A and B are shown apart, each in its own frame.
Chain A
Amino acid sequence: MRKGRAAAILAGLAVAVAACGNAPTTTEPTASGSASASGGGAKPLQGVKLEVAAKWTGAEQKNFEQVLKAFTEKTGAEVTYASTGEDTGAYLGPRIQGKNPPDVAILPQPGLVQQYVEQNALKPLTPEVVKEVDTNYTPYWKELGSVDGKVYGVLVKAAHKSLVWYRSQAFEDAGVQPPTNWDELVKAAQTVADSGTPPFSFCGASGWTLTDLFENVYLSTAGPENYDKLSKHEIPWTDPTVGAALEKIAQIAGKADYLVDGTSGTMQTDFPTCVTKVYGTDKAAMVIEADFVAVEAVNAGAKVGEEAKYFPFPKAGDTTPVVLGGDVAVAMKDSPGAMALVQFLASKEGGEVWAKLPGYLSPNKNVSPDNYPDELTKQLGQTIVSAGDAVRYDMSDLAPSAFGATDGKGEWKVLQDFLRNPSDVKGTQEALEAEAKKAWK
């Protein structure tokens, strides 16, 4: 066994040496070649075989394979797709241990980038790719994919989490218009409640929906800089900005008339069920969640754009909040092919191929929203472009998972307790800080 491992290490070294040996001579022509030769017909990566792993299945996988096809047509490299299933870490872990990683992997959380860099499993992106990232992404996204100043990953697919979905009939009955700021939202909620429909359907049993709500309000009231600090726990959760955001949330969560099925019912409602309460049983008017609510709304029998409409998360402070979730592409082998593929995915060209397919939203600022196939996605894309440097990544996904991604623990639990008792802003802040201290130590 020891012999086998030594052999594997030797093989790994050989590959690394080969890659290093090649790097100065081949990578550069490749990069410049792929930029210039696209029209020419000479395919710089003819005969190269690549493997890319991502969690997508079904329609998402098919769409991604079309993007890969476009890459093959351009460069000649053959790309095979491997689906990791829901738990990307569980799939990649053994392959990294076995020294047989895919060339490129697409990670569902930026937190994994840091983790894999610590395991020496990722290769820093070459200067050409970094240049591509610089042209197409704001510095925030670049930093998100970087560890210790080196760029390892690039966000290639986004989920838009700053939306409020509403049932148009409920708004018509109450005679209200989609609000544009927080005070209008509170006022609209009051009017809808007066009309006999509880305005909000919160998904109290799914803690992540509450973190999304908090992140939107916090980004809006405290601004992007504080948001970054809080994401890294550089300011404590007892900071007054957190209290201000929680008080805003209490304005809509603190009134029993505003919540469908009251507080206890809300706490037992998980994510897709809260959408059903708006679009299936027509009991509530609004649900605050991401673009993927559309899927559940359609399942509940509502037509997106007619019955199921949305408005951008209203400004609660000075910033229009745009919070994204999304997937990060990383290179696990330092080969010209892997780098070229990451570069292609980060490029305007690759993004536009993808954008023309349904179910995709690009964080790339140079991918014009006009490319999206439907009106809804176009508007979503527009909000990302117009928010510019203020766009932020989902804070709870940047936190250690014990704090930001565990049922019954950390931020999820404390925000659920807060929803039960929205008057206790101070106690909530202290509980959040205590949990954060445990997770960040």
Chain B
Amino acid sequence: MTERLNGRQDPPAASSAGGTSTGPAETPRTRKRLGPSPAVAIAFLLPAALLLGIWVVYPIVYSFVRSLFGAQNFSEFVGLGNYISIFTDPGTLTTIRNNLIWVIVAPIIVTTLGLIFAVLTERIKWATAFKLIVFMPMAVSLMAAGVIFRLVYEQSPDKGLANAVLTTVADTFSSSQGYPAARPREGDQSPVAAQDGGVVTKQPVQAGQPVLIPIVGVKPEVMPSNAQTAKTPAGEGLSGVVWFDFTQGGGGRNGAVDGAEKGLPGMTVEAVQNGQVAATATTAEDGSFRFEGLAPGSYTVRLPKSNFEASYGGLQWLGPTLITPAIIGAFVWVWAGFAMVLLAAGLAAIPRDALEAARIDGATEWQVFRRITVPLLSPVLLVVFVTMIINTLKVFDLVFIIAPASVQPQANVVALEMWRVSFGGGNNQGLGSALAIFLLVLVLPFMIMNIRRFRRGES
């Protein structure tokens, strides 16, 4: 590879020399006369070399030297200790794993989406408007995009767009009318106990004796407005009451239907015998229920789990498991437009006759896309892809802003870890420098690849 790089360094100089002179430029004498004198060349190169040296080479060398020392400034030589701790610390390993996920997933999605958009916009009427909209996120800074997506991924459907969409879709298919988070009154005196998410009576019950099912922890917002003061039913058959066993302001007796305590309407109640549901009833507005036409005998009364199920609350986007995919989503939103614009420009440059020839020869649209468009587009595709890889390797701001502090360890990436250990509280610039060098080593191959591509493009 170096051979090729070296090989390609010369031709431009030679070709420029050859370009200016019409005659053959073979003898060293003529070349010397036509090319700039070394002094002039150095004079022109010096400013750029100096700036590069100060701003690029010196920091890299300094970072590398710094990475061989500990947290205290150059007083404690640790050799490769910082690099060893990068690969042994579980927290840092998580960041490397996350970076790997990023590098594999994000560029592919961005490039694919960009390609789809680019190909589709070729065929629709309002292509410019569409491109403008898809490109719009590029006008937003990554930090602002992070703030936007922090809100989008908010857990509560009232605030978070993502969960609002999910819950709306879920609610159209099923609706819950239960009492989420409500539970039986606990304790030895309580006649009921929790079982499998539902509530059952501890003792078998018989007709004639009203069944008391005290429930606590009913949230004010799920209490139905038509609920009436609880009443213990009397009369024949197996009957009872399900009620909110809590007196506002305290003072009520546990397990007893006191003055103002309200019944819980709409609860499904089952009478169970030998594991079989013998009868089902629903509580009235005062919480009372009665099983009609039930054979005498002893039963267990059960409030099935469905009474207590919360309505679907959406996904935990900002939880430890989904955080990285969620942030990658935000990244795709920002960069898909960029990929699309580059690829659309590449598409426009593809010779139409090649496509038409293929179509005339009877190729299907898919074959045209697969065999003609993609191969002709591959240089641009590669540029987009490599640019995205470099972008994902250095991703920082989106992770920093979108992940709540409590899931930062799970969402962490190398660039963010580098900042955190050096300045964000860690104060260990030795380890930070080691991470920076590690990141440099990761980015380097893609950089070289890109440079080689540009060179090839020039020649």
Contact = CB atoms under 8 A, between A and B. Distances in A.
A268 B250 contact: no
Interface in B188-230: 216-220, 223
A264 B321 CA distance: 11
B18 interface: no
A233 to B, nearest CB: 16
B249 A207 contact: no
Contacts of B280: none
B183 A257 contact: yes
B406 interface: yes
Nearest to A271: B405
A422 interface: no
A176 B405 contact: no
Contacts of B233: none
B420 A408 contact: yes
B404 interface: yes
Contact of B250 (A176, A400, A401, A409): A176
A123 B316 CA distance: 53
B249 A194 contact: no
Nearest to B426: A402
A196 B218 CA distance: 5
A194 B425 contact: no
Interface in B329-366: none
Given A207-B406, A268-B406, A409-B91, A261 B183 contact: no
A194 B250 CA distance: 10
Residue with the greatest number of chain A CB neighbours at <10 A, chosen from B91, B156, B406, B426: B406
Interface stretch (B29-37, B293-301, B407-415): B407-415
Contacts of B407: 267-268
A409 B217 CA distance: 36
8 contacts: A195-B248, A196-B220, A197-B219, A267-B406, A270-B404, A402-B421, A402-B425, A406-B425
A272 to B, nearest CB: 13
Given A175-B250, A268-B155, A409-B91, A194 B185 contact: yes
B3 to A, nearest CB: 46
A196 B246 contact: yes
Given A207-B405, A257-B183, A270-B405, A407 B249 contact: no
B375 interface: no
A174 interface: yes
Contacts of B427: 400-402
B261 to A, nearest CB: 12
Contacts of A197: 219-220
Contacts of A413: 409
Nearest to B408: A408
Interface residues of A, number: 33
B287 to A, nearest CB: 15
Residue with the greatest number of chain B CB neighbours at <10 A, chosen from A193, A268, A406, A407: A268
Interface of A: 172-176, 191, 193-197, 204-207, 257, 261, 264-265, 267-268, 270, 400-402, 405-409, 412-413, 416
Nearest to B244: A196
Contacts of B319: 264, 267-268
Nearest to A176: B250
Contact of B181 (A174, A257, A264): A257
Nearest to B158: A281
B405 A407 contact: yes
Contacts of B316: 264
A309 B156 CA distance: 27
Contact of A204 (B406, B421, B428): B406
A194 B217 contact: yes
A276 B180 CA distance: 22
A205 B404 contact: yes
Nearest to B403: A408
A191 B248 CA distance: 11
Contacts of A207: 405-406
Contact of B425 (A172, A205, A409, A416): A409
Nearest to B218: A196
B233 to A, nearest CB: 24
Nearest to A177: B250
A407 B217 contact: no
A205 B249 contact: no
Interface of B: 91, 155-156, 181, 183, 185, 216-220, 223, 244-251, 316, 318-319, 404-409, 412, 420-421, 424-428
Residue with the greatest number of chain B CB neighbours at <10 A, chosen from A172, A204, A402: A402
A29 to B, nearest CB: 43
Given A196-B217, A265-B155, A409-B425, A205 B181 contact: no
A175 B251 CA distance: 7
Nearest to A412: B405
B431 to A, nearest CB: 10
Contacts of B156: 261, 265
B424 A407 contact: yes
A123 B420 CA distance: 32
A206 B406 CA distance: 7
Contacts of A196: 216-220, 223, 244, 246
A262 B409 CA distance: 21
The 8 A-B residue pairs with the shortest CB-CB distance in the complex, in nearest-first order: A175-B250, A406-B425, A408-B408, A194-B216, A205-B404, A267-B406, A416-B406, A407-B405
Contacts of B216: 193-196
B420 A406 contact: yes
Given A173-B249, A257-B183, A265-B155, A408 B220 contact: no
Contacts of B425: 401-402, 405-407, 409
Contacts of B244: 196
B75 to A, nearest CB: 12
Nearest to A206: B405
A129 B404 CA distance: 45
B250 A191 contact: yes
B249 A408 contact: no
A195 B405 contact: no
Contact of A172 (B185, B249, B428): B249
Contacts of A412: 405
Given A265-B156, A406-B424, 10 more contacts: A174-B246, A194-B216, A257-B181, A261-B156, A265-B155, A268-B155, A406-B425, A406-B426, A407-B408, A409-B409
Nearest to A210: B406
A108 to B, nearest CB: 14
Nearest to B222: A196
A257 B186 CA distance: 13
Contacts of A176: 250
Contact of A174 (B219, B245, B250, B426): B250
A283 B183 CA distance: 18
Contacts of A264: 155, 316, 319
Nearest to B85: A438
A261 B156 CA distance: 9
Contacts of B219: 196-197
Contacts of A206: 405
A207 B405 CA distance: 8
B230 to A, nearest CB: 15
Contacts of B426: 401-402, 406, 409
B249 A193 contact: no
